[in-house]
Structure 1
Amino acid sequence: MSRIVHLAVKVNDLEEATKFYTEVFGFTEVKTGRNREHISRHMTDGHIDFTLMQYDSEDSHEATIAGEGPRLHHWGVTVDDQELAAEKIKQYGGTILSAKGEGALKFRAPDGTIAEVVKPGRYNEK
């Protein structure tokens, strides 16, 4: 069964956002690393991977797919078969945004929102 395991938020100031979510909600940091054109800070509430993303430039391709400025960038759902999910996404009017073979297959749903399908375990869900 598929389930939501990940939310990614694009932020302007990674440290300020981290402080906000740790102090206000008690989220804990899991790991921080560079991923293509941004720094990702993975945090958790104990159930879901909540990631803050600060892009090197607002002009980068991945930064622009969700729009300018801070916002929900994308959400992620686990699937058992990414290739089958990609075919269904296209069949029902979605557009694949990622190159084949990337661990997280990003897509734009017909309503314009951005999401990704990942294999179970990518975000160490419980």
Structure 2
Amino acid sequence: MNQLRHLAIRTEEPEKLAAFYIEAFGFREVREGVVPAQVQESKSFHLTDGYFELAILANSPNQSPNGLYHFGIKVDDMDETVRRLESWQKRVMRRPADTSFAELRVSDIDGNLMDLSVHGFLEYQPVKSGNEGK
């Protein structure tokens, strides 16, 4: 079954927003990254609840407003998925070769961006709350 695996949010305060999700919901940080200089030299934070990745990306005034940037779906069969998207008259774009998490990008009928991958999203283990067995 196809699975929603990734959500990216843009913010002007990525470190503060990451701390919010870690402290308020118990998410754990799985990696930090740096957005390439050709886009914008900035730090990103990647958090998980154990099943899903939340990427928190730095925003700048010349980019989209803060908030949802894109989400990622792990698909079982890329060819079949592309065929179904094209039946909706959606143009599927290949991601740059140096992108490590998704092969294709498309938008839904409202213009929300999504990345598609057969193998590009990380698999996580559930976050333990520390209260198990009590």
Q: Identify the residue that residue 95 of structure 1 maps to in structure 2.
A: 91
TM-score, normalisation: structure 2:
0.73
Verify: 1:80 aligned to 2:79, yes or no.
no
User: Contact 2:15–2:45 at 8 Å: present in 1 too?
Assistant: no
RMSD across aligned positions (CA): 2.3
Offset, 1:88: 2.6
Q: Identify the residue that residue 107 of structure 1 maps to in structure 2.
A: 106
Residues in 2 aligned to 1:7 and 1:69: alpha-carbon distance in whole angstroms: 16
Secondary structure (helix, strand or coil) at the match of 1:33 reads: strand
Verify: 1:44 aligned to 2:48, yes or no.
yes
Q: Identify the residue that residue 7 of structure 1 maps to in structure 2.
A: 7
Using a 3 Å threshold, how does the CA distance of structure 1 residues 22 and 32 change in structure 2: closer, same or farther?
same
Using a 3 Å threshold, how does the CA distance of structure 1 residues 78 and 13 change in structure 2: closer, same or farther?
same
Secondary structure (helix, strand or coil) at the match of 2:2 reads: coil
Task: Write the deviation string for residues 14-66 of structure 1: whole angstroms up to 9, x where unpaired.
Answer: 111111111111111000112442543110011111111114x443xxx4xxx
Aligned length: 118
Structure 1 vs Structure 2: percent identity of aligned residues? 26
- Name the one with the larger helix percent: 1
Using a 3 Å threshold, how does the CA distance of structure 1 residues 80 and 8 change in structure 2: closer, same or farther?
same
Greater Cα offset, 88-97 or 68-77:
88-97
Residues in 2 aligned to 1:119 and 1:125: alpha-carbon distance in whole angstroms: 16
TM-score, normalisation: structure 1:
0.77
User: Contact 1:93–1:110 at 8 Å: present in 2 too?
Assistant: no
Greater Cα offset, 109-118 or 80-89:
80-89
Gaps of 5+ in 1: none
Greater Cα offset, 84-93 or 40-49:
84-93
Gaps of 5+ in 2: 126-134
